[in-house]
Each structure stands twice: as C-alpha cells, then as structure tokens.
Amino acid sequence: MARNIGQIFRDQARKYGDRLAVEKRLRGTWHGCTWKEYYDSAREIGLGLYSLGVRKGDRVAILSQNRLEWIMSDMGIMGIGACTVPIYVTLPAEEVAYIIGNSESKVYIAEDSVALEKALEKKDECPSLEKIVVIDPEACDMSHDFVMSLNELKTLGRDLGKIKPELFDRLTDEIGVEEIATIVYTSGTTGPPKGAMISHSNVLAVFDGLDAVVPAYDTDVTVPFLPLNHVYERVAGHLYGMHKGITTHYAQNIDTIVEDIETKMPTIILAVPRVCEKVYARIVSQVREQPQWKQAVFNWAKDVGARVSKLKERKKPIPLILGLQHRVAYELVYKKLSEALGGRVRWMTASGAPIAREIVDFFNAAGIFVIEGYGMTETTAPVSLNTINDYRFGTAGKPLPCNQVRIADDGEILVKGGNVFKGYWKMPEQTREAFTEDGWLKTGDIGYLDDEGYLLVTDRKKDLIITAGGKNIAPQNIENLFKEDPLFEQFVVIGDRKKYLVGLANINLEEADRTAREEGLKFDTPEELLNRKDFLSIVNRHVEERNSHLARVETIKYYRIVKEPFSEETGELTPSLKVKRNFVMEKYHDIIEEMYPRDLS
C-alpha cells in the first residue's frame, strides 16, 4: 500500500500509462502529456535536483504561473523526498527573497525573466540559494554560473537516471509519511509570512477524507484556473486529481476561463465564491437588458428553481406540477448556464467564504451542485464540506472524516485531525500560539455547529466588528448582501469601535454602463460615471435598497467609491479573490476617516 505522495504518483503513472494526464493552454495553444510522460519528466527533474545536491528534507522554491512544468517540478521535488516551497507570482522581490531565505531553499525554480529578476535583485538575502533554474529562459540573463535552464536540469536527471536507473524509485520509497512535503507561506498581513509545514500524511489524510464524501472518478475532467501556489488548488485540485486519475486541462488565465471551459467541457470545477458571484451577476445584468416579458420569464424560472432546490435540500418529493414547471424553466433559462460551463458539470466548489443562497439555488436549479465548504492552509485545505447526498446550503457542511471540529467558549472554530499541519517553519512561538493546550488548532474563525452537525462560519475572529454601542456584527454577511447587486464588484464594511458602519465600494463598470444607459445618461466612458453626480445618485439608490434588507445597526451610513479595481496585483485580494481587510483599511485609511467626523464617531 502506498505510504507517500510519490508512491501514489508512480502507481497512477503505471496504471494509466499513455492516457492523457494533463494539459495547459499557453499562448492560445494546448500542450499536453500522458501519465507516462508526466512521470518521466518529474523523474528527470527530481534526479536533476539530486545531481545539484538536493537531498531529503531540503527545500526547493517555485515561482510560476500554472503550467505543466510547475506540477512536474512539484512531483519531482517531492519524489526525491525534498520539500516544495510555492511562491505567488504577484509577490514583490522583497517577499520572494524573504521566503527563499527563511525556508533556506537550495534551489529556486523561476518561470521567466520577471521571476528570475526577483531573486537576482535580492540574492544577498538568500544565503542558502545555490542554483536558479529557469523554465522559460527566453529574454533571461543566463550568464550567471548559478543560473541554468529547466531543460539543462532535466538533462542532468536523464544522465543520472541512465547511470542509476533504480535511484528515483529508491528515493521515493525512503520517504517517511510524516516527513514534510511542502511549506506553504501564508499571508503576512499581520507580520512576516509564516511557513506552514504540511507533511505527506497531512495530504493523505485529506485524500481519505475526500474519498469518503466526494464523487470523483478517473473519468472526470477539470479545467483549473486558481493558482497552484494556493493550498486549495494544489491539494484538492492538482494532488487529489492525481490520486483519482482525473484528466486536467489548465486554463490559460482567468480571462480565458469561459472559452477554455466551453472547449474542454469539464465535469468538475474548483472555484471560489467570487467566481460564482461574477457568473451570476453577469447573467442578471444580461437579463436586465432584455424586454420586460423575458425578464418576467427569468424571474419566474428563478422562483421555480429556488423552490425545487429547497425541496431537494430537505430530501422532499417534488410535486408533479412543480417538476413540470422546472423542466420548462430549465429549457428556457437554466440550460444556458449549463451550456456556458461546457454542459457536463456535475458539481463545482464555492469554498473559502460565504455565498448568497440565491446564487446557490440558481446553480443547483441548473443541475450544477455547488459544494460549499471550509478550510485553511493550516488544515491542508478542507475541514468540512457539503456533499451531494448530505448538504445544507448556507453552511460549510459537516466535518470531513479526517478531522474533528469543536467550538470554543468565545465562538472560535477549533480543529483536530490528520490533516492539521505540523506547525510554522522556524517559528516555535507562533506554532504554540496556534494551538490550544490540549492540541486543537485555533482557526481564528468564528462559527457554530447547528443541531444537525453542519458547520456555519460567521466571520474571522479578528474581522468581527464590535460597534461603539457593543453590538457584534459579522461584516461578511453585509458584504455578500451588497455583492448580490451586480453594480457592486466589491464592498468592504468598516466600523469597529465606531458608532456606525461605513463602506468602500468597487463598481462593476459593465453594469455601470448598462445602468446609466437605462437611466438615459449620456457619457463617453463608464469610468467617467464614477465622478458624476447624476450617476452617484443612482448608486445611492442601490445602497439604500441594500440597506432596506438590514437591521438598523447593520446599515451603511456613509460609503465611498474606490475607483481603482481591487486586485491581487494591487494587494487588496488574495489569490482566491478574498478581500484582505487589514490591507484595504490601511491603504484607504484617509478615505475611511473622512466618513467619521469627530462629532459623530
């Protein structure tokens, strides 16, 4: 029986051989490889690193967009017992150098000239770094004796493999299940990034947990677009897909995802709530441009779908008339959503943050089951999941069999199990602080288990707003309410220790364009609308409409529009598209303070 990730990979490569394993769209063209080619390339990379002096337990950093070489390098690194250190491509040189230096990585695998320069700029801060390997050496300065191409590394590996054909297998078999497979650095919004140590056993525990509840098979197809650097895509996507024998087609980028999904027709999609929200907002926006009778049909279909979805959730029979209505609604409305996602999607995830019930019901009515769940880097991704046979929308599902969940007296979610990480690299004090005295991981999230055992996550412990009047308010609930309106791309609620709540809004320019034309406004570009009083009065109406659904203490008294879109590149969003609240509050501090006159706050 396999006891580490490398052994599982070897078994799968032997089992599936010449079947397509993975491909990536690069500059408009799909490039793929079979399971045998995938394994052989990983073996060459692993042995190439061994030739450079990388040994069991050594760290190798990777900074690259999703591509075949990323996963081949990952499997090669882990296959010789070394440890992969993924780095986000959006990080500045200072943070890249910190991660390489702190992890004491011996080798740094860089995608291109940009990734190479980030290391060269701060190489003095990386004393452990012995070699830089470049995946795409075009336009790179390869003159340094410590820089080589990935092809050169693979040649070293091939040569060593000819001399010692049994070496890679032997190195793989010598890996203990409790040894560290990867160190994933978490966001450094409250200090320097912390390296979460994740072992082979942590990943295998997740495999066991998902196998027990997730319907995934070797006939499945997926089109990933979330970054491999993120533990969610890496473990639940890349590694679990390898474990199940799933065929993977990596999208070119987030802008081509719709086209790539239509082309490859996935059966499974790993997404985060913001992706579902954007798809739904686009559909609602398009419907509003249709004649009134078509809008009425859409609203009727949405109501029928919601009623069917709620009955399915409670495992109640669907009345004959409602079932017939749903068939008609599917043909008129929901079929278009299914076809836009390739026509074969059985389920998709929307994990990592709350998602509006209205959106979940809409997808469910289209025959696409949305799996809500909860997890974090320190739990090797998933803690709890809804499943097709056992779910409650609006919850994060029940804890996976690989872990237990307990709620602390102050409402914090605590986790214990085989998937819980080994601690933070070279940070013993922070590791101790992460656990209770009896060994439960303190997640930093607030929530509760309902009477049926479903986990509800209400907010981050540090994000919970306590007003000057002592009211506890979960900002995510309010933010999600605002994001149900297609006009708001993002909405951040602020108000801790204040008498009232205020907000920062990102406007969806496509929706702004449509709304302004509908209102009869004349303009040249949608960007100019953000400075016009007549358009801002429209935004005010939308804010007031959202406020009408809230208790008085939860309403937004003032708001400001942030004209530059929030993005991962500018720092406001995480790779999974969640807002970095602390970063936003610091970046827009002056704008926020303007909304709190001294005589009111």
For 55-112, write each residue's pLDDT tens digit: 999 999 999 999 999 999 999 999 999 999 999 998 889 999 999 999 999 999 999 9
Percent of the chain with pLDDT over 70: 98
CA nearest neighbour of 398 among 417, 373, 376? 373
Name the pLDDT band for 598 (thresholds 50, 70, 90). Answer: low
Name the pLDDT band for 599 (thresholds 50, 70, 90). Answer: very low
Name the pLDDT band for 51 (thresholds 50, 70, 90). Answer: very high
C-alpha triplet 549, 555, 559: angle, nearest 5°: 120
Residue the block writes with tokens 């959730």: 313
pLDDT at 83: 98
Name the pLDDT band for 190 (thresholds 50, 70, 90). Answer: low
Determine which of 185-189, 203-207, 473-477, 495-499 has the lowest per-residue pLDDT on average.
Answer: 185-189
Predicted TM-score (pTM) of the model is 0.83
403-407, strands of its sheet edge to edge: 403-407, 412-417, 441-449, 455-460
* Residue range(s) in the chain whose domain bears CATH number 3.30.300.30: 465-594
pLDDT higher than 50, residue 601: no
Mean pLDDT to the nearest integer, 412-423: 97
- Is there a contact between 556 and 502 (Cβ–Cβ < 8 Å)? yes
pLDDT tens string 374-399: 999 999 999 999 998 899 988 999 99
pLDDT higher than 50, residue 160: yes
Look over the chain and give the mean of its residue pLDDT values, rounded to a whole number. 92
pLDDT at 600: 47
Mean pLDDT to the nearest integer, 193-212: 96
* Residue range(s) in the chain whose domain bears CATH number 3.40.50.12780: 1-176, 203-417+439-459
Mean pLDDT to the nearest integer, 568-591: 85
CA nearest neighbour of 60 among 30, 4, 105, 15? 105
User: How far is it, in rounded angstroms, from Cα 91 to Cα 133?
Assistant: 19
Cα 555 to Cα 99, 154, 449, 475, 546: the distances in Å are 41, 59, 27, 11, 8
pLDDT at 536: 94
Q: What's at 335, amino acid-wise?
A: K
CATH code for the part of the protein at 465-594 = 3.30.300.30
For the domain made up of 1-176, give the CATH fold.
Answer: Rossmann fold (3.40.50)
Name the pLDDT band for 2 (thresholds 50, 70, 90). Answer: low
Percent of the chain with pLDDT over 90: 74
**Is CATH 3.40.50.12780 correct for 203-417+439-459?**
yes
Q: Is the dihedral of CA 269, 274, 279, 280 positive or negative?
A: positive
pLDDT at 568: 81
User: How far is it, in rounded angstroms, from Cα 96 to Cα 384?
Assistant: 32
